[in-house]
Amino acid sequence: MSKNSSNPFTVPEGFFEEARSRAVAGASEVRRRRRNAGIALISGAAALAIVVAAGTMMRSRTAARLYDESAGWLASAEYDVFLANELIYENGMDY
Amino acid sequence: MDRVDQRFEKIVQEYSEPLYWHIRRLVVSHEDAQDLLQDTLVTVYRKLWQLRDPSKEKAWLFRCATNVVNHFFRRKKRELGDRTLDEYLEQTLRDSEYVNYTEAAGVKLQKGLLTLTPQQRTVFTLRYYDELDYGEIARITGSKPETLKVSYHNAKEKLKKIIEEDE
């Protein structure tokens, strides 16, 4: 078996130069996709952070509003009447 | 251009040809080998960061190519349906535009290669044509060097017999 005379295969002319160029172009494409995927990831993370921050702010505002409303209710004359009625109902007390 | 890109370009310059011939001897068809070389080199670029030891570069590159070829064979088997992979490879060898049929000894040897088991064919190609040692072939195929020696010996004997029978 002679190694030198044992290759029956041929390739089109200029094939290896073309294959090398294609490989380098393929690597650039991988780089481009990686970069785009990186940008998409950073954008996604930023969007998520904005949503979380907005949600936190909304929750704080809602809590503050509820607190103010309940504080207002506790300080109101209606609450005094309500409390008095409760006392009368539970203990039969008159004030 | 960063270090990975420089290293990749060096690999492309140095190994495109040997990798192509390794793939071509296994898949026979030039068109398939062309596509698989491209797949191999893209895989190499993606995974180049995994290669820490430069002394293992050659074996690592041939392993990438062999894995790409094995994956192609699995896909091809499913596509072929009733026909076997060996039948497909034999037909490719008969009908290919890029085979020099006047190179009778080479065609005969390639026909003989198609009678070997896939393991024997890979080991024979890596040892005989690509001149890798058994340690390197073991890293590529995941087999023990002793098993590979037996496999290579059996392949060589089988091929000798086929060539002698034809003469």
Distance, in Å, from the CA atom of B51 to the CA atom of B39, rounded to the nearest integer, reads: 18
Report if residue A24 sits inside a domain.
yes
Report if residue A5 sits inside a domain.
no
Report if residue A81 sits inside a domain.
yes
**Domain count along chain A:** 1
How many CB atoms within 10 Å of residue B68? Answer: 23
**Residue B107 and residue A27: Cβ atoms within 8 Å?**
no
Distance, in Å, from the CA atom of A51 to the CA atom of A37, rounded to the nearest integer, reads: 21
The residue segments making up the domain with residue A41 are 15-91
Q: Which chain B positions have a beta carbon within 8 Å of A8's beta carbon? A: 99-101, 103, 106-107, 109-110
Q: Which range (A26-35, A86-95, B41-50, B72-81) has the least confidence?
A: A86-95
Q: Which chain B positions have a beta carbon within 8 Å of A1's beta carbon? A: 109, 128, 159-160, 163
Report if residue A41 sits inside a domain.
yes
Provide the residue-wise pLDDT of chain B in tens; the chain has 167 residues.
688 899 999 999 999 999 999 999 999 999 999 999 999 999 999 999 889 888 899 999 999 999 999 999 999 999 998 899 999 999 999 998 999 998 888 898 999 999 999 999 999 999 999 999 999 999 999 999 999 999 999 999 999 998 888 66
Q: Residues near A52 by Cβ (< 8 Å), separated by ≥ 6?
A: none
The three-state secondary structure class of B1 is coil
Report if residue A2 sits inside a domain.
no
Tokens 């060996």 label which residue?
B86
Partners of B46 in the beta sheet? none
Residue A27 has its nearest CB partner, among B34, B37, B45, at B45
**Residue B106 and residue A20: Cβ atoms within 8 Å?**
no
